[in-house]
Structure 1
Amino acid sequence: MSDSAAKRLLTGLAWDDYCETVRRAGHMVEDFGAEANDLDRAEWYRFMTRLMRNGFERFVENCEPERPRLRDAPWRQGINFQSPDQDHLLAEFVDGRHDYRVTGNRGTLPYFVMASWVAKQPTNIGERDWADQGVSGLRDFDPATLKTTGFLQSDAIDFDSDGNFEVILSQQKPAGGENWLAITPDCVGVLVRAVYHNRAETIAPTMRIERLDGTGPRPIRSAEMADGLAKAGQLVLAYAELVRSWWQDNLSKRPNRIRFSRAVYLSNGGVPDRHHGFGTWEVAADEALVIQFIPTPCDYWIFQLCNMWQENLDCYEDGQGYISKYRAAYEEDGAVRLIIAAEDPGIGGNWIPTFGHVHGGMSLRLIKTEGEPPPVTLLRVPLEVLKRDKLNCLSATEAIISGEIAE
C-alpha cells in the first residue's frame, strides 16, 4: 500500500480534497442558468447528497478487498434512468486479480443478468489531489463511465431443481464446465440486474459473493481510506458532469424525442441484452404530451418519466411516473398510448402525472427484444382541448416521429 496515500489521509489532505471536489460539483447547477427552475435546483442538491451516499456505500463500505459483498444500490438512488422494476446488486473490486464465486437462489425471478465492468481508474488515486483538476480530471479517473467487459444471462446459467446456482468469476475459464463470468485484470466490479415483471408476486433472489482464496476480513488501512475518499468524491463529480453533458450537449437538443443509441447506453455499464432509448420531455402546465408506440416483442419493457437529473419522479414509489409491459393498458391493435400531463384528461390509455415538473428526461427500455425498437410518435396538445375533444384532436396535431437508432 502507498505510504504517500496513507500520509494524505492521516494529515487530512485526502478529506479536504473530497470536500472540495463535492463543493465544486454542487455548484455545477449554475451552468444551467434559468433553465433549471426552483424544483429542478432543489432536486439537484438532493441528487448531490444521494451521490455522496452512493459513493460512500460503494467505495468505503463495500470495497474491502478481502470481504466482497453483493449489495443493492442505495435506496432512492436513481442514477441514469434506473428502473423501479430492477434491483442492482453491486460488488466493488479494487482490481480483477482475484477469483470469486457467486452462489444463490433465483427465487421466482424471471430474469437477471450479471456483468463485469471496467472504469478509468489510476493505480495511485489516493496519492493525488483531484479537486483542482475539475472535470478535466475525469479523462484519467472516472468512476461513472463504465464499460461492460463480460456478461452472463440467467438463461445461460445452470440451476438445480430448487433454483440454486453457482457462478465463477475469474480471468481464466474454469476447467470443470462451471457457470462462468469472465473478468479482466482491470475489473472494478460486478453488477447483477434483477428484472421483475411483477415485484409484488415475485420471490426475490438471494445472492452472495466470496473470494475463492478464502481470505478473511482485516482492519482498514489508511491508504485504502484515501483511495475510497478519492473514488467517492470523483463519483459525485463524474455523475454531475454526466447529467450535465447528457442534457446540454445531447438530449435537450431534441426535445420530446426518443433516440436509441447503443453507444450512449453502453457507455455507462449497459449490457447488450436490451434496447434503451433516451430523450428529454417538455410540457407546460396547461399542455399534454401523447406518446404512442407498438412494443417490439420482448420479455419486458418500461417507459419512465424522469427529472433533469435522470432520476425517477418522487411519485414512483406510489406506482406512478412509469408504465411497464405487465401493467400497461393496451389499444386494440396492441399499441400503447401514454398521456403525460399535470392532470388526467380522461381519454383512457396510460396517464403519467408530471408531478410538478415541466421538463426532464425520459427513457424507453426493451429487454430481450425480438428485432429492432419501435418507432415512437409524440403529439403536444393543449390540455383543455384534449379534455374537450378527446382523441379527435390528435388528427389535427402535427406529430413528432422518433425512436430512430443512432448506431
Structure 2
Amino acid sequence: MTQLSDAAWDALLAMFSDLADVVRADARDDRERLEGYRVLARVMALCSELSLDVDPEVPRFFPMTTPMRQVAGPNPDGEYDLCALTPGRSYRVTGSRESVTYLGFQVMAGVGLTPRRQAGYVSDSDLVLDADGRFTFVLAPRDPGTGEHCVPIPDDASAIVVRQYLVDRATERVATYDIEQLEPAGPVAELTDAALADQLGAFMWTAFKLMTLHRTVLPELMTETNRLVTAEAAALGSENTTPDNLYMLGMFDLASGEALVVDLEPPDTRYWSITLENVWHECLDPLRTVSSGTNAGFVRRADGTVRVVIAAEDPGVPNWLDTGGRGRGFIVLRWLDTPAPPRVQLTVTPLPEVTA
C-alpha cells in the first residue's frame, strides 16, 4: 500500500531534479551554474531545519541565515530568526529590545503546499516596553484574556519570522527574545505517515519558492538591466518582506572594465542599505568582501548625496561595492519606515573614468 510519505518523498526528489534543471537553464556561465548548485544545497539544508527539525509542542527560534548561508535575498547587515507554529495554538513572546536599529515580528500563515501569506505584524514601534526595555505580547486565534498585548492570528498560522537591522554591528546590541506555547505541552508524539508527508510538503513549497525568486519576483529585471524598480513591500509579496520597508531592486550587468555608478539622495530615515546578490539572490561573500553597506558606513559628499561604485575592481574611491568578479547580479536598496522614493541614478561608466 502506497503511503502519503512515500508519495511526498518521491515528489521531493523529483523537485530537486527540476530545480537543478532551473540552475542549468538560467545560469549564463560556469560560475553562475556552480553557485546555483551550491545555493540549491544550502536551500535544502535550510528547508530541512524549517520543516523537519521542529517539535510542535516546544516552539523555538533558530537562525535562518548563518555567516556562510545567505540565501533568499537576506540583508547581511541583519539577523533573521524563525519559529514554526502549530496551527490553532496560542503563544507568548517575551524579550529585550536592546539597541538594535530595527526589530520586527512577522506572522506567516499557510501549511503544506499552500502559498504563505503575512497574517500579522508587530514592529518595534508597536512594542510596549517596561523600564528595562523588555516586552511581552501574545499571539492567539482568540484573546486568552490575560490582559497582555494580544496580536490576533488565524487558525492556520504556521510560523513567525523575526528581522533585525543593524546600522553598525560594532556598537549595537541585538534584541533577545523567546517564545512559549500557552497550551500545556503534550507528550512526545509518534511520527505518523500523515505528519511526515505534511512536513515534506512544506519542505517542497519553501525550497521551490527560494530557488525561483529570480523568476517570480520582478522577473523583468533579468533582461532590463542596470536600472532600478521601486516597490513597496506588498508588491514583492507580503510573505517576502515587511510592510515598513520600501525597496528598490535592479540587476547590474557589466562587461570587463565597467562600473555601475549609483548616485542617490538619501531620505531622512533611521536605516537604509545597499546589498549585492548573485543571480540566485544569494549575498556576495559577506565575510570576505565589501558587497553591502548601510547609511552609517557610506561616505557622503558635501551636499549630503552619496555615490556608490559597483565594480569587480577597486576603483580607489569611497563606497566601493565588490562584485567579486561577477558579470551580473542583483542590487537591493532597503529604506526603512517607507519614506517617499528618493532620487537614485545609475550610470554604466568605464572604470578608468571612475578612478579619475
Q: Relative to structure 1, is the Cα distance of residues 217 and 359 closer, same or farther in structure 2, using a 3 angstrom cutoff?
A: farther
Which residue pairs with 1:196 in the alignment?
Answer: 166
Classify the secondary structure of the residue corresponding to 1:155: coil
Is residue 2:37 matched to residue 1:45?
Answer: yes
Q: Relative to structure 1, is the Cα distance of residues 292 and 173 closer, same or farther in structure 2, using a 3 angstrom cutoff?
A: farther
Which residue pairs with 1:281 in the alignment?
Answer: 252
Classify the secondary structure of the residue corresponding to 2:52: helix
* From 299, 303, 309, the counterpart of 1:329: 299
How many angstroms apart in 1 are the aligned matches of 2:39 and 2:19? 11
Provide, for residues 332-367 of structure 1, a one-character-per-residue CA deviation record: whole Å limited to 9, x for no partner: 111111111121222x33011110201011110011
In the TM superposition, residue 216 of structure 1 has moved relative to its aligned partner by 4.2
Which residue pairs with 1:351 in the alignment?
Answer: 320
In the TM superposition, residue 205 of structure 1 has moved relative to its aligned partner by 2.2
* From 14, 32, 36, the counterpart of 1:20: 14
Q: Is the Cα–Cα contact under 8 Å of residues 57 and 74 in structure 1 kept in the other structure?
A: no
Q: Is the Cα–Cα contact under 8 Å of residues 19 and 233 in structure 1 kept in the other structure?
A: no
Q: Relative to structure 1, is the Cα distance of residues 245 and 31 closer, same or farther in structure 2, using a 3 angstrom cutoff?
A: farther
Q: Aligned runs of 1:66-145 on 2, under 5 Å?
A: 66-75=57-66, 76-95=68-87, 97-119=88-110, 121=111, 141=113
Q: Is the Cα–Cα contact under 8 Å of residues 259 and 279 in structure 1 kept in the other structure?
A: yes
How many angstroms apart in 2 are the aligned matches of 1:106 and 1:114? 12
In the TM superposition, residue 200 of structure 1 has moved relative to its aligned partner by 2.5
Classify the secondary structure of the residue corresponding to 2:201: helix
Q: Aligned runs of 1:143-292 on 2, under 5 Å?
A: 146-173=116-143, 175=145, 177-216=147-186, 218-222=188-192, 223-246=194-217, 249-262=219-232, 263-292=234-263
Provide, for residues 264-321 of structure 1, a one-character-per-residue CA deviation record: whole Å limited to 9, x for no partner: 323433221110121111111211111010111111001011100111101x124610
How many angstroms apart in 1 are the aligned matches of 2:116 and 2:4? 27
Matched length = 353
In the TM superposition, residue 376 of structure 1 has moved relative to its aligned partner by 1.1
Is residue 2:4 matched to residue 1:8?
Answer: yes
Normalising by the residue count of structure 2, what TM-score does the alignment of the two structures yield?
0.92
Q: Is the Cα–Cα contact under 8 Å of residues 213 and 281 in structure 2 kept in the other structure?
A: no
Q: Aligned runs of 1:371-382 on 2, under 5 Å?
A: 371-382=339-350
How many angstroms apart in 1 are the aligned matches of 2:124 and 2:289? 27
Structure 1 unaligned segments of length 5 or more: list them.
Answer: 126-140, 391-407
Q: Is the Cα–Cα contact under 8 Å of residues 52 and 233 in structure 1 kept in the other structure?
A: no
Q: Relative to structure 1, is the Cα distance of residues 375 and 194 closer, same or farther in structure 2, using a 3 angstrom cutoff?
A: same
Letter in 1 for 2:282: E
Provide, for residues 8-43 of structure 1, a one-character-per-residue CA deviation record: whole Å limited to 9, x for no partner: 33xx443332222212212112332xx521111111
Classify the secondary structure of the residue corresponding to 2:241: coil
Provide, for residues 376-399 of structure 1, a one-character-per-residue CA deviation record: whole Å limited to 9, x for no partner: 101111112333xx2xxxxxxxxx
CA RMSD of aligned residues (A): 2.1
Greater helix content: 1
In the TM superposition, residue 375 of structure 1 has moved relative to its aligned partner by 1.9
Classify the secondary structure of the residue corresponding to 1:61: coil
Which residue pairs with 1:54 in the alignment?
Answer: 46
Provide, for residues 28-63 of structure 1, a one-character-per-residue CA deviation record: whole Å limited to 9, x for no partner: 12332xx5211111110011011101111001003x
* From 320, 324, 329, the counterpart of 1:360: 329
In the TM superposition, residue 250 of structure 1 has moved relative to its aligned partner by 2.1
How many angstroms apart in 1 are the aligned matches of 2:117 and 2:241? 8
Letter in 2 for 1:158: V
Q: Is the Cα–Cα contact under 8 Å of residues 116 and 181 in structure 1 kept in the other structure?
A: no
Letter in 2 for 1:323: G
Classify the secondary structure of the residue corresponding to 1:317: coil
How many angstroms apart in 2 are the aligned matches of 1:180 and 1:195? 24
Q: Relative to structure 1, is the Cα distance of residues 343 and 269 closer, same or farther in structure 2, using a 3 angstrom cutoff?
A: closer
Of all paired residues, the percent bearing the same amino acid is: 28
Normalising by the residue count of structure 1, what TM-score does the alignment of the two structures yield?
0.81
Which residue pairs with 1:136 in the alignment?
Answer: none
